[in-house]
């Protein structure tokens, strides 16, 4: 069993920044990440609002963050967290168990689903949540993007250079995406004020249905928000009604020596830069809470 001063759950921008600040405070630090360092940032094609870079691909920025944390002395374990025991201060993964003195939860959020008939049946077989991952399979085909926020518009823009046709179905009366992104929409069909009520198909996906009409298509990309990865902590930490971890100004949770940062916490602004800021604050006070 390995022991660390600070264990960070999640290797996205919040977790990687926390790792950098923790090791620079002289704490033995490990980041536990289930997939790859950078988290969802790796799925962002272009980042143009991160200070210091006019334009940088998401995976490149993620790689720079990881390299900086590693060079500073942070360790990495690529494994899936199964449970956390706050009393024993242990994190149990598939492959091993680690001990911590202070814990930082930075596990991010996953795509929210529509919860309509046909979605689960065709998930991965016509229904997707990542254009960067699956958009290539729809070259020359008709696709629908569900949502009206930044992610939905970004995915529609990407698909417009791949697919034969792209249709956005937005449940709200207008986009919530940034205006500069909406201005980049070219040749995309847009339908506001319609809720998808069913994914259509028998042997394969054939379209989507709203209360007003049906939209024939070969694939559907769902981008209706994200759900925080906090299920492990339900009943153990104070969570908001939306399942977000409640923290104070020091990123301290309701449990001593347990901090949280990034998209798992209750806050108003969710950007890469604010996740980094959360991570820096969490690591600063987590480091102070470690008793030598």
Structure tokens at 33: 């990440």
Beta strands 97-105 and 90-93, pairing class? antiparallel
Active site residue 183: no
Distance of CA 83 to the CA centre of its chain: 20
- Could you say which DSSP state residue 136 is in? G
Query: Could you tell me the two tokens for 194?
Result: 């319609």
**How many CB atoms lie under 10 A from the CB of residue 214?**
12
Give whole-number Cα distances, 81 to 32, 112, 127, 203, 255, in Å.
Answer: 8, 21, 27, 36, 19
134 included as an active-site residue: yes
Active-site residue identified among 93, 130, 218, 268 = 130
DSSP 275: H
- How far apart CA 8 and CA 5 sit, in angstroms, is 10
Residue whose pair of structure tokens reads 């001593």 in the numeric block: 256
User: The tokens 């995976």 sit on which residue?
Assistant: 59
Catalytic residue among 133, 217, 218, 268: 133
Q: What sign has the CA pseudo-torsion 65, 68, 72, 74?
A: positive
Q: Coil, strand, or helix at residue 212?
A: coil
Kindly name the residue from 79, 93, 134, 142 that is annotated as catalytic. Answer: 134
93 is catalytic: no
Q: Catalytic positions, please?
A: 130, 133-134
């Amino acid at each position: 069993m390995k022991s660390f001063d600070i264990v960070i759950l999640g290797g996205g921008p919040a977790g990687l920044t926390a790792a950098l600040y923790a090791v620079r405070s002289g704490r033995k630090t490990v980041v536990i990440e289930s997939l790859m360092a950078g988290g969802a940032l790796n799925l962002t094609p272009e980042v143009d609002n991160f200070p210091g870079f006019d334009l940088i691909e998401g995976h490149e920025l993620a790689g720079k963050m990881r390299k900086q944390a590693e060079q500073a002395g942070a360790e990495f374990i690529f494994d899936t967290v199964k449970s956390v025991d706050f009393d024993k201060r242990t994190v149990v993964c598939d492959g091993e168990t680690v001990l911590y003195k202070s814990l930082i939860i930075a596990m991010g959020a996953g795509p929210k689903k529509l919860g309509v008939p046909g979605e689960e049946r065709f998930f991965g077989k016509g229904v997707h949540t990542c254009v960067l991952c699956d958009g290539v399979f729809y070259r020359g085909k008709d696709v629908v993007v569900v949502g009206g926020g930044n992610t939905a518009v970004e995915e529609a823009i990407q698909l417009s250079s791949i697919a034969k046709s792209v249709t956005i179905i937005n449940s709200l009366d207008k986009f919530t995406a940034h205006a500069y992104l909406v201005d980049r929409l070219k040749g995309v069909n847009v339908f506001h004020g319609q809720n998808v009520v069913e994914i259509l198909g028998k042997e394969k996906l054939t379209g989507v249905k709203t209360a007003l009409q049906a939209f024939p298509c070969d694939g559907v990309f769902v981008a209706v928000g994200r759900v925080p990865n906090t299920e492990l902590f339900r009943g153990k930490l104070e969570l908001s009604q939306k399942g977000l971890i409640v923290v104070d100004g020091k990123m301290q949770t309701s449990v001593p020596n347990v901090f949280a940062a990034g998209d798992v916490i209750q806050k108003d602004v969710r950007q890469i830069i604010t996740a980094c800021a959360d991570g820096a604050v969490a690591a600063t006070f987590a480091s102070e809470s470690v008793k030598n």
